[in-house]
Structure 1
């Protein structure tokens, strides 16, 4: 199953280690492609889904893979932690595949479109995992893929459009666009609807604590649906969300995007690494920040640490099941939100001025007097909160809300430098708060400031 193009294993071998392949100080943070960076300004766009209504375009940066055939459910269940005994047609789930050692590969959104048909969307790591094991295991399934627009061979349009309508006024906008309320639909379930005679699906969704919908349909109807939503939302002050603000709801919602796949070291996955292209997500998603280790396994995470424990269904056999049963006993880190001190942020990042928009996927060290206690996973400015928030994995004894810690903000040069060396990086005071960062914590913080 070796690919004729350079593979991930080729890249690791040539670099000398997974860390040497992936470590890139000062890496530019990812933002979705083919979307304006800002429409009205990132602050106004963030506030729109908190206080009004926002439109987000997800059409171009999602990698879609359709899985269809008699063994579609079996291959997904054999390689994912989820419960497939309760998975209705029209329902979507956060699909969580793990390695045999219980480390997450990544998560994706899995929608059941028929008895033997699913659509798996997101960054392509989960799709690669499922397809490889389906082909290796001889499962009776077929695949149709549609890469994101930046990587679609020959360019062209996506197969599907995806538009999210989010915010307190989302229901009013939808009623204006569709001439009335949509069918009653459970959260993360979808209903078939029509807009001006054009078929699409309405997925009941939510973002950063706000209710909303995701509309999905054939690309041929994309322009009409987009214009209809804009027109219906104009009297409500609809705001389009650009690439900068789009990357930030996950920080409030407690979702950690793109954890390091636990695939780089297991000898039994050598064939899988040879199957993966070097110029894919597994070979090109950079690592950087003040936290550095020569051992890639120090970056692996458990689904329990990411808050996916409730998704794990141990009533069926799947790859990694035994390891997860052992991991549940701990020790495990806890997922928390760090609220970074605004004065320190201005001093360290903004040179004494307003730092403007802050976005970082870097792994920054989190310390107390006891030393290293955690690692940030994603940090971003959240204007409605008035602070930079950081989704963080932290030792459980330091996870109590109100605990004070420091974030070491800087870029470790990487291999060749002592991981414990004092590089003189500045520190930002921070306070532990729950993840997701709920309204109570947000209100309390603003009052205290």
Structure 2
């Protein structure tokens, strides 16, 4: 097999990513609109509007479009109705996640993919033998989430929102523009994602912001946007896991992506790494759907890439995903070290790492490594430092005491006491009948 274009030469991909300075994610319009505390509390007490338009969109259509999706995805497509969506997960032969995002069925033979499955699906369509075609779309995607989200949208929309079931979508009218209202979201709260052509994105955004002021709506900035993923346990690539597309055996796909970097964001192949957890091979940061808490997406009613490996793992899972609650006093001591003589501990950016980086730290029980802590962040609502952790199932029981090793392999390290908690950490309030709200 040809050599990987992103892992060649004497320097390994791990070494390159250890030296990668990272970058500020370009999405979400602004870093902050009011302030990160105010914006973070909004999805619990009022609501927010956030811009996820940077995520890619691909329409796939044709008699065998559904066969293509089924062959690549762990999900079942039986009883997948027009007007319905689902979280789609695509793996390699080892059962490690290559891509994940959302697919919506917009017609009998038509589907729209959002996020990284759009790239992997298009690549396989171009080199495969499926009776299907695809075209790139450029949609705005505004999420309006929180307890007041329904009132805000009903103030601006003509068309019914209350009869849209969770993970389904339907058309509404805002300012004379047809918009798709997709009932889903990343905050673990009641809400919708609004989608439509980019040509009138700002018009829709401004109309919702103006109407939402009466209901305490906040605009969600990039500084705190991903804290809702942490609290609600939506593990993002580059924060909780590195997709297996960077493996050497994915050289052909890597080249295909690199040829189209005008369209494909740089973060699709660049995953900066830091933290006390270290390994020689990048596969140590790959994760399966089971390890990410997505076992309920896997359906063995069809053949798909990675099925054999996942059948074995589902039968005997080794690791699972939990939340870690970090000890307050130990966290405060990290900041206190800035005011003492000598080299301080590694700084904890607030509310989380602002550069897009994989913060991965060893998790110990009795001095033995039992897991990897990732995606550290401060929840103002809970007044706690949290992280997600892929941990051995023997230590996954809520209440288990563990130790997080905070710092870099070649720098000062701080052992921080932590306690295992469920993932998601906050109650999931996305579901329910809207007719009674």
State whether TM-score is above 0.5: yes
Partner of 1:261: 243
CA-to-aligned-CA distance 1:384-407 (integer Å, 9 cap, x gap) = 010111011011111111111111
Residues in 1 aligned to 2:191 and 2:28: alpha-carbon distance in whole angstroms: 23
Structure 1 spans left out of the alignment, 5+ residues: 3-7, 147-158, 414-422, 441-449
Change (3 A) 1:434 1:277: same
Structure 2 spans left out of the alignment, 5+ residues: 340-346, 429-437
Residues in 1 aligned to 2:118 and 2:331: alpha-carbon distance in whole angstroms: 38
Is 1:357 the counterpart of 2:350? The answer is: yes
Partner of 2:187: 208
Partner of 2:388: 391
Partner of 1:133: 124
Is 1:340 the counterpart of 2:326? The answer is: yes
Residues in 2 aligned to 1:98 and 1:250: alpha-carbon distance in whole angstroms: 21
Partner of 2:48: 54
Change (3 A) 1:179 1:329: closer
CA-to-aligned-CA distance 1:302-330 (integer Å, 9 cap, x gap) = 11111111111101111111111111122
Residues in 2 aligned to 1:82 and 1:19: alpha-carbon distance in whole angstroms: 31
The equivalences for 1:133-212 within 5 A come to 133-145=124-136, 159-178=138-157, 182-212=161-191
Contact 1:366 1:372 in 2 (8 A): yes
SS in 2 for 1:97: strand
Is 1:41 the counterpart of 2:27? The answer is: no
- Following superposition, the deviation at residue 79 of structure 1 comes to 0.6
Change (3 A) 1:331 1:193: closer
- Following superposition, the deviation at residue 29 of structure 1 comes to 6.2
The number of residue pairs the alignment matches comes to 409
- Following superposition, the deviation at residue 180 of structure 1 comes to 7.7
Residues in 1 aligned to 2:192 and 2:28: alpha-carbon distance in whole angstroms: 21
- Following superposition, the deviation at residue 343 of structure 1 comes to 2.1
Counterpart of 1:230 (choices 171, 191, 209) is 209
Partner of 2:407: 410
Partner of 1:113: 106
Bigger shift: 325-334 or 390-399? 325-334
Contact 1:29 1:359 in 2 (8 A): no
- Following superposition, the deviation at residue 13 of structure 1 comes to 1.2
Partner of 1:151: none
Residues in 1 aligned to 2:194 and 2:82: alpha-carbon distance in whole angstroms: 17
CA-to-aligned-CA distance 1:148-182 (integer Å, 9 cap, x gap) = xxxxxxxxxxx222211111111211222226852
- Following superposition, the deviation at residue 272 of structure 1 comes to 3.3
SS in 1 for 2:273: coil
Counterpart of 2:77 (choices 84, 88, 107) is 84
Contact 1:358 1:380 in 2 (8 A): yes
Residues in 2 aligned to 1:70 and 1:167: alpha-carbon distance in whole angstroms: 39
Contact 2:373 2:388 in 1 (8 A): yes
Change (3 A) 1:270 1:183: same
Contact 2:186 2:234 in 1 (8 A): no
Change (3 A) 1:427 1:73: same
Counterpart of 1:98 (choices 73, 91, 94) is 91
Residues in 2 aligned to 1:198 and 1:330: alpha-carbon distance in whole angstroms: 51
The Cα RMSD (Å) is 2.5
Change (3 A) 1:181 1:275: closer
Partner of 1:430: 418
SS in 2 for 1:9: coil
Residues in 2 aligned to 1:88 and 1:235: alpha-carbon distance in whole angstroms: 36
Counterpart of 1:31 (choices 8, 25, 32) is 25
- Following superposition, the deviation at residue 118 of structure 1 comes to 1.6
Change (3 A) 1:193 1:433: same
